[in-house]
Structure 1
Amino acid sequence: MLTIDHNDTLTAARTGTLALPHGTIEVPAFMPVGTNGTVKAISHAAVDNMGYRLILGNTYHLYLRPGKEVFETYGGLHAFSSWPHNILTDSGGFQVFSLAPFRKIRDEGVRFRSHIDGSYHHLTPESVVEFQRTLGSDIMMCLDECTPPEISYKKAIEACRRTTAWAKRSKVRWDIEREAGFEGKLFGIIQGNFFKDLRKISSEEIIELDFPGIAIGGLSVGEPKETFEEYLAYTSQFLPSEKPRYLMGIGTPDYIFAAVENGIDLFDCVFATRTARNGTVFTKDGMINLKKAGHALDKGPIEEGCTCQACTRYSRGYMRHLFKAGELFGPMLATEHNLQFLYDLMVEIRHSIREDRFSSFKKNFLDRYVKKGN
């Protein structure tokens, strides 16, 4: 599944290719988030044209709407959404975590109330695998229990124990689907909250189950950046080098560099598209808010050299006008720019790793990005 072509000489960063049912992708790679079967404010064709070959879909939201019957009728999420490349689907565990007032977690699974219509539903490790098979996921995730920072050690132990138990049940169900011809890959998820002994235990237990890939969960959930970096480095040291590694929920340059430095191959986040819809865009000099009055007369592009439509055809002044006038075209252009920015960044990162200059590239990029940010 994973072929490593180069390991950085100074860090754990690496480059390679990931063979999936809908084609091969280069790693490390950022995945745009398509929560409801679409990346918000941009067409799949535009995402495809940038070069993205793996996007993310959200099991929780797709389960509630449009539902399993629709995907069975269409033959999966690829056909339903007209996306010809790979799709990774999460387990819905994070949404269960973030909708705490609406759910109850027990050993058998999760009972939750829909945020859409208030109806009650029950997810189990087995049903989550079955639904992701119905979606036709190229990479699917086990149901896990994600926990917030600062919970008690006792609660963290219980969540860690339950995550492992659910992982075992998920793998049994996935093996049944594989025997029936399903080609999607199942990733186990490491938890353990912010307790190093639990992180180590969870890593050992999940790795022992021999999943095709491993995900690190429970990071970037509101903890300080220093804590994130500490626990990322601590957890990633346990991961087997021959399997793909996925860090969930990160998507800004500083966090991306930290992930790559620790040997992470895949990551995703809604940040790029969400901030774009609010008028905030990436540049090499930091993030800028296009709504600011200082851009009103600026005839230059968002970023010199960027190949997105916003930068090749329009000015910062025009972009500001679109947002101030409430035109939908503004968020669409900004979304395209932010995704192009991250795609180009990943290309540069992979080049720097292959040329054994990742550390200097990271320093130079972040010195400019952080210090000059607006």
Structure 2
Amino acid sequence: MTERFSFDLQATDGKARTGLIHTPRGAVRTPAFMPVGTAATVKAMMPESVRATGADILLGNTYHLMLRPTAERIDRLGGLHKFMNWDRPILTDSGGFQVMSLAGLRKLTEKGVTFKSHIDGSKHELTPERSMEIQRLLGSDIVMCFDECPALPADRDRIAESMRLSMRWAERSRDAFGDRPGHALFGIMQGGLEQDLREESAAALKAIGFEGYAVGGLAVGEGQAAMFDCLDYAPGFLPEDKPRYLMGVGKPDDIVGAVKRGIDMMDCVLPSRSGRTGQVFTRHGVLNIKNARHMDDPRPLDEECTCPACRGYSRAYLHHVFRSQEIISSMLLTWHNLHYFQEIMAGMRDAIAAGRFVEWEADFHARRAVGDIEPL
């Protein structure tokens, strides 16, 4: 068991990379997909089930946990790992994105953000220092800097001003984080879709020095083509010997495209949220279990999948329990989606290590293009 945080880059194929992030709570195989456990749970999943899908690390949400049940309460109860019964690594976001997207009446100053809780309207303040304190109380292994993320599209002056504020906050986050052996602090690159601002942001972060680096401010409405254009250059501004994390991404083809461009870590609510709404991801594309075509279909969602939903249940059954609003529907469809996402990650890791990423990617896209099996 290592006592330090480190990154071991094991192989590259083009810009795609595979490696290991070492933490005191275990290693994370990269490229890694992190299921999102917003309120200290991946919805509709037991922690051991999440692990069984192949997940090495989870994401917890600072904004939600600080409001309920509070970071102080989680600390008193032994920290987030013990609280949610997950003994492997946890990454916590800083709370900045949720403040932008969820909170009522927020006021932004150089010091930080004051906002009203979306739960009960109570007033709160988040600063770089408070975000570091909350994440320390939670006990997460990877801590994110507190940043401000403007929604796109935004004008260049607004993006530049926001990015520079985030860089000042990154320095304050680093100072407040202090010396915490075995824990890592990641800086977050901002700059919208402006290449020179991305480069300026990366230079500022490298001057401060972090254990890992995130590409923030994407997947906020700019579309896949614009995101990929940015990822064609942005990861290259970051150190090669540190993990690179693309925040809040995404759909399967987003994930594959990001890894192709040099990204090591991603997170998204999509596989779990989609599972609860009947949207199913398979190697043949996306299907909607609520459609009547599945009503009499005895076949599994995906013949090749080894998840419990595909091994034990028919499309007809999954259609029935979804339509009946049975809890097992959310459980099985979420498990399937998370399993499929982790299967993609494992496939990419193996392909990069073997120098076959181009062939793997072509096969991935070709199979998805075929579409779902014909109805009976």
With structure 1 as the length reference, what TM-score do the two structures score? Answer: 0.96
* Match in the other structure for 1:95: 98
Specify every segment of 5 or more residues in structure 2 that has no aligned partner in the other structure, as ranges: 1-5
Alignment of 1:21-40 (within 5 A): 21-40=24-43
Q: Which residue of 1 aligns with 2:195?
A: 196
Deviation digits for residues 36-93 of structure 1 (CA, Å, limit 9, x no counterpart): 0000011111112223220000000000000022112112100111111110000011
User: SS of the counterpart of 1:7?
Assistant: strand
Q: Structure 1 residue 123 and structure 2 residue 126: aligned?
A: yes
Root-mean-square deviation over aligned CA pairs: 1.3
Hey, what's the Cα distance between the residues in 2 that align with 1:315 and 1:338?
16
1:275 corresponds to: 274
Instruction: Compute the displacement of 1:369 (Å).
Output: 1.1
CA contact 2:243–2:264 (8 Å) conserved in 1: yes
Q: Which amino acid aligns with 1:29?
A: A
Alignment of 1:284-303 (within 5 A): 284-303=283-302
- Superposed CA offset, 1:12-47 (max 9, x none): 101111101211121111000000000001111111
**Structure 1: how far apart are the matches of 2:237 and 2:181?**
29
1:212-261 CA-to-partner distances (Å, cap 9, x unmatched) read 00000000101121101001112111111100010001132111111111
1:96-152 Cα shifts (integer Å, max 9, x gaps): 121365311110001010000000000110110111011011001000010111212
Inter-CA distance 208–371: structure 2 relative to 1 (3 Å threshold): farther
> Which residue of 1 is the match for residue 244 of structure 2?
245
Is the counterpart of residue 69 in structure 1 residue 68 in structure 2?
A: no
SS of the residue aligned with 1:26?
strand
Amino acid corresponding to residue 88 of structure 1 in structure 2 = L
Secondary structure in 2 matching 1:303: coil
Give the match's secondary structure for 1:24: strand
C-alpha separation between the residues in 2 aligned to 1:102 and 1:285?
43
Q: Is 1:139 matched up with 2:142? A: yes
2:158 to 146, 155, 163: 155
Partner Cα distance (1:305, 1:284) in 2:
9
Q: Secondary structure at the match of 2:36?
A: coil
Partner of 1:236: 235
How many angstroms apart in 1 are the aligned matches of 2:232 and 2:100?
A: 24
Measure the CA separation in 2 of the matches of 1:56 and 1:332.
19
For residues 333-372 of structure 1, the aligned pairs below 5 Å read: 333-372=332-371
C-alpha contact 2:296 2:316 (8 A) present in aligned 1: yes
Instruction: Tell me what 1:259 maps to.
Output: 258
Question: What's the counterpart of residue 328 of structure 1?
Answer: 327
Per-residue deviation, 1:371:
4.8
The answer to whether the aligner puts 1:6 opposite 2:11 as a matched pair is yes
Unaligned runs of at least 5 residues, structure 1: none
SS at match of 2:233: helix
* Matched letter for residue 84 of structure 1: D
Q: 1: distance between equivalents of 2:134 and 2:372? A: 43
Q: CA deviation at 1:373?
A: 5.7
Paired residue type of 1:281: V
Which amino acid counterpart does residue 143 of structure 1 have in structure 2? F
Q: Pick the aligned partner of 1:44 from 21, 44, 47.
A: 47
Native 8 Å contact 1:75 1:134 kept in 2:
no
**Which contiguous aligned blocks of 4+ residues in structure 1 show a shift greater than 6 angstroms?**
none
Counterpart-to-counterpart distance in 2, 1:292 and 1:51: 29
Paired residue total: 368
Q: Is the 8 A contact 2:149 2:162 kept in 1?
A: yes
Q: Which amino acid aligns with 2:23?
A: L
Contact 1:7 1:353 in 2 (8 A): yes
Please identify, of 132-141 and 91-100, the stretch whose mean Cα deviation from structure 2 is larger.
Answer: 91-100
Corresponding position of 2:311: 312
AA in 2 matched with 1:254: D
Distance 1:151 1:367 in 2: 36
8 Å CA contact 1:102–1:114 kept in 2: the answer is no
Which deviations, in whole Å up to 9, do the C-alpha atoms of 1:142-179 show, x marking residues without a partner?
0001011121222112101110000000000112xx2x
Hey, what's the Cα distance between the residues in 2 that align with 1:34 and 1:100? 19
Could you say which residue in structure 2 is the equivalent of 1:208?
207
Contact kept? 2:103, 2:118, Cα under 8 Å: no
Paired residue type of 2:90: I
State the alpha-carbon separation in 1 of the partners of residues 166 and 355 from structure 2. Answer: 37
How many Å apart are 1:187 and its aligned residue? Answer: 0.2
Whether the aligned pair in 2 keeps the contact of 1:283 and 1:303 (CA below 8 Å) is yes
Structure 1 residues 222 and 100, CA gap change in structure 2 (3 angstroms): farther
Contact kept? 2:34, 2:267, Cα under 8 Å: yes
Q: In structure 2, how many angstroms separate the alpha carbons of the residues matched to 1:156 and 1:29?
A: 29
Q: State whether residues 219 and 232 of structure 1, in contact with CA within 8 Å, keep that contact through their aligned partners in structure 2.
A: no
Q: 1:5 deviation in Å?
A: 1.2
1:21/1:183 contact within 8 Å kept? yes
Of 54-63 and 198-207, the range deviating more from structure 2:
198-207
The share of aligned pairs that are identical, in percent, is 46
The residue type paired with residue 2 of structure 1 is F
